Amino acid sequence: MRRFPLLSAPCGLLSALLMPNLAQAQAPAADAPPAQRLPTVQVEAARVQQVEDVDLPASITTVWLDDDANGALAQVSEALSGIPGVVARDRQNFAQDTQLSIRGFGARSTFGVRGVRVLVDGVPATMPDGQGQLSHASLLSAQRVEVLRGPFSALYGNSSGGVVQIWSADGAAGDPWRARLDTGSDNTLSTGAQLRGQQGPIHYNVAANHFRTDGWRAHSAARRESLNARLGTAVGGGQLDLVLNYVDAPDAQDPLGLSRAQVNADPRQATAVATQYNTRKSVRQAQAGLVFTRTEGAHTWRAMGYAGQRSVVQYLAIPPAPQANPLHAGGVIDLDGDYGGVDARWHWQGQWAGRPLDVVIGANADRQAQDRRGYENFVADQVGIKGRLRRDQADRVENLDQFAQAWWQLAPRWSMLLGVRHSTVRFRSRDRYITATNPDDSGARRYDATTPVAGVVFRATDAWRLYASAGRGVETPTFNELGYRADGQAGLALDLAAARSRNLEVGSKWHAQGGTQLEAALFRADTRDELAVASNSGGRSTYRNIGRTRRQGAEASLVQPLGAQADLALAYTWLAATVRDPYALCGTTGCATVAAGARLPGVPRQQWNARLQYRPGPWQWAAEVVASSDTVVNDLATESAAGYALLNLEAARRWRTPQGTLRVFARIDNVLDQRYIGSVIVNDGNQRYFEPGPDRRYGVGLQWQWAP
């Protein structure tokens, strides 16, 4: 495939920054219909109430979810497509979850979410060590998804390269209930029901979902049951919300990655050892959270507490021979633990020097206690089953954070936002598997960091804002990254340092009365002690610090109404993620040097998204294009996944009756049946870097909404 031009990105962004001046000079037509405004969002991203996101010095995108979705609503990645700076890859592998990164942070993660903070209804879905999950979030019950990029992500603490927040819709009297069914290629079925409304003082939003698929690739079948609920009522002069999440995903098959030769021969195949060892993963999680908010005059108090349990059992494709080493942890990972935390904050709105002032002060503490066991994945000559115990340790991680923030309208056209957070993260591990050949590997490590952020906004016109922001960030290793040493010895990799970054951003936001929204940003993040994959083999990864790196680039997005029935959305990202300090990379065949300027693996240089939607009467039509440039897959850049461009189409029809509304919808992904690599496994030790994306796929569904 041809290479995409790179120099056009900064020039295009400069044009986008200047365009508002030209567009502002064009007066709207006198007979133009009044614009419809969405409800004002209390933006949690910067913790400033009563201030719209256009007036904040940060890149914030809100995706509103309504009843007109045409996908399966099976993964959060469906809602994240088209957001600049965000890579959300459906891996066609439900044993490993969505691959999510923001401006290059989190791209190295081989499972779960890493380097990006995730919250569901204000309750953390990211553990104190920075490891997060998206599996228990429900798009069926969600009202909106908010995505924050840039320096102000650091206000969320450890591993905040970006923030994703999923908010459920609130229940209210007269809200309709709905049932939904979607089926499609690969024997995929998703069924769900949402009960939403109000009974007396209690308002509720309860959603249950069943999902199953045979998978596009061999050995990739999966099943998942989930339940999400948000219940609220007025109590004690305030608002009390109960948030419940449950997910059960047993024995999701893992087809593992493919080599380039395997992709060329048959992209739908699974690696032979995947079926030989029956590689699979089971996850079960239950979580509950309570949020109480009370306002008295200029003061608002918010207290949140949550607790949960999570168990994971994963079978890896590690042959018996390496497990003969007495220090080896085995080929079966068995994690079982609980977690919880509290968050309290005070918010005050008033004036200082005659100008509006908004202050937030708070603290939070979180804790995760996890029992980590390892077993052999064989008994005698039978593989893929649980054998002898090879690892047994009690892992504990906890954090204690304090934060403060102030927003001030220092002049009619100027406002500023200042914040600081101090984080302390403590890791402790107690070894309970001690033998004559496997010594006590207990240990502990503490990380401390203070992360200040600051930003300023200039109100050029009623529609146009210019802003700049700067801050620091910190990213500690997760327990999964500490779990295995790169030298193959037993115990935790307690020598890993936390990665620390300096972040800068300048941007422009233009929101016209007619609904047009044009936003653009330039950004840079310089990181020292970058955490990178040292090895990745058989489903097990080890990590190390590699020195300094830089992520810099540009983002631009446009939302343009085209009359009363159509709209166009465009998004573009240019991102250069590179190594600044050369380092040695050694393997079984010798050592090589990764030069300064080398690309960080897992990060595409460019992304494009375009969506055109047309809604004439009861019909809905949509076309979207998703494109990406090539992605380097290993540190030495000897392999890469080629760029691609995909076309997706949607259609839907609605019928209204006195009893309710029936909606039938269909979607075709990859209409042109392109072959492409959907996601990559960074630094795979067997050079099986590639997870192919699916060919042309079909989905049809129907939804019934009861009339209020």
According to CATH, the topology of domain 41-706 is Maltoporin; Chain A (2.40.170)
Alpha carbons 478 and 427: distance in angstroms, whole number: 9
For 684, which DSSP code? B
CA distance 246 to 308: 10
Residue 464 has pLDDT above 60, yes or no: yes
The 3-state secondary structure of 428-488, one letter per residue: EEEECCCCCCCCCCCEEEEEEEEEEEEEEEEECCCCEEEEEEEEEEEECCCHHHHCCCCCC
CA distance readout (Å), 269 to 254, 259, 435, 697: 12, 11, 41, 17
What does the pLDDT average to over 336-340?
A: 94
Average pLDDT over residues 510-514: 93
Share of the chain above pLDDT 90, in %: 67
Q: Count the Cβ atoms, other than its own, within 10 Å of residue 662.
A: 14
At 219, give phi and psi (nearest 5°).
Answer: 55, 50
pLDDT at 540: 63
Confidence at 6, pLDDT banded by 50, 70, 90: very low
What per-residue confidence (pLDDT) applies to 426? 95
> What is the Cα–Cα distance from 25 to 680, expressed in whole angstroms?
46
Stretch among 45-54, 182-191, 292-301, 525-534 having the lowest mean pLDDT: 45-54
pTM confidence score? 0.89
> Cα dist. 485→127, 329, 333, 496, 517 in Å?
21, 11, 16, 10, 48
Supply the DSSP symbol for 55.
Answer: G
pLDDT at 32: 34
Query: CA torsion sign, 5 to 6 to 8 to 13?
Result: positive
Which residues are paired to 466 by β-bridges?
A: 458, 508
Q: What is the pLDDT of residue 314?
A: 95
Give kind and range of the element (H or E) at residue 615.
Answer: none
**Best CA proximity match to 59, nearest among 608, 629, 471:** 471
Task: For residue range 469-505, list pLDDT tens digits in order.
Answer: 999 999 999 887 887 787 767 677 888 999 999 999 9
Tokens in use for 1?
């495939």
